[in-house]
Structure 1
Amino acid sequence: MSTSIVTLNVGGILFTTTKATLQKYPDSMLGSLISNGLPSTRDANGHFFIDRDGQIFRHVLNFLRSSQLCLPSNFKDLDLLAAEADFYQISPLIDAVNEYRDAFTKTARTFYLEIIEVRTGSTATMPTSNSRVKTILLGRKDVLLSLPPAVIGTDFIERLCCKEPQEHTEVELFGSPVRLRVGEELHNLGWSLISSDLSTSSGFDNKSQFGMSLIIEHTFRDRWSRDFDADEPIKINPNHSLLLEEANV
């Protein structure tokens, strides 16, 4: 085996790399381990043994290989990685972890939209000729205005003009099957469906020309969310700008 290849046992996990990688930053503990013969412990197979977190070490080693901090989007052990960077005394990694922390610890803003569809009729399960369907979209005015006409149409503009940007309001949606269509559009825009509920109620209509008839009402409620960066602006969709200007005249 080439003497340039080194196997490390970090907390019971084996890592194979090169001496050049470990010497990437000569002043670090790993650099001194290879270059200066820093006193070290060996395991039963003669590998360098380091009594530290092996799961986190893979991120340390990847940084040595690429000089870039590449972490998964759901990474939650930043404090532990910072401690390991300090232990190994890799100054560029310490700086990279601090920069990552500054960039991703800003408070994200989460906005919500709700689609409520009410179906009323003798069956109410499908928008057929014997049922009445009403669908509304609820959210903040500025968030609603950021959506394209394919989601909210254009007939709502005049009703929104009297609202403040952060005021919550509702928009009636038209078409069939509008709830599913708008849900697909929201998904394509980066929104996530966080809940979908169905509630049912029933009663009798004594004013029906056919006598007492059973009326069933189904209410579908879909809740969507999307995270915005702390400094990310909510931009009005360009297709709505002209309509807003005309409506304000």
Structure 2
Amino acid sequence: MAQDIIHLNVGGCIYMTTKLTLTRYPDSMIGAMFSGAFPTSKDSNGNYFIDRDGSIFRYVLNFLRSSRLSLPADFKDLDLLLTEADFYQIQPLLREVKRLKSEQDRKYLRCGHFIEVIEVRVGSMATIPTKNARVKTVVSGQARVLLSLPTLIIGEEGKEKLLKKSGTEFMELELNGCNTRLQLGEYLHATGWSLDNSKMSSSSGCDTKSLMSNLMIEQSHRDRWFLAVHSATTVTMEAQHGAEPYALSQQNGLHCDIE
């Protein structure tokens, strides 16, 4: 029986187990390694050496011993365990880790409201950073969410358009002003929104309509803002003509993303 005992060096961590345990799943990578199908290497002390994460291997080995995955309540390395299970190709372990990962993802499902702001600024190399550039700013989102923005930003005409729509209907509004994107960003940040994503792109070309054939630059900014809603959350809209502020709560059509 002593000859069945195997000493392992996994990433610097030493383990002692049996050949029977390691070959419990013969179709797995680790099963093939210790059944003679794949070559193995040893360290200077005669331990079988596997160049993988040593601390995570304890959970792999325990699964091989009992065919059950036992993790501490505060375990936070499911992604790493999934990577190791995939390497060793222990299919029952791989399925179980994927199931736990799916449950974890659902646990961290975040719900709330989204607003996207796109600004396109076009001008010559001399004017692109200034107010002389042509600017188009568009904000999009649910009508009810856009109505929570100040009238100073969306304008009276924009507000009238939104009031005619269903609260959960997706809308796009073109905003006036050359620095509206920055002003809207400051307002959203001050009222609890977080910048979920921001991208900038640029392109250039010649203005064929100009006698000077000026080089024109187009810069595009795309900002995606998110307001988390874990309980009833109110974003105050300018109350005019006796209107009540719009409450952006769970009853008002949430979008949900995985963090």
Q: TM-score, normalised by structure 2?
A: 0.47
Q: TM-score, normalised by structure 1?
A: 0.49
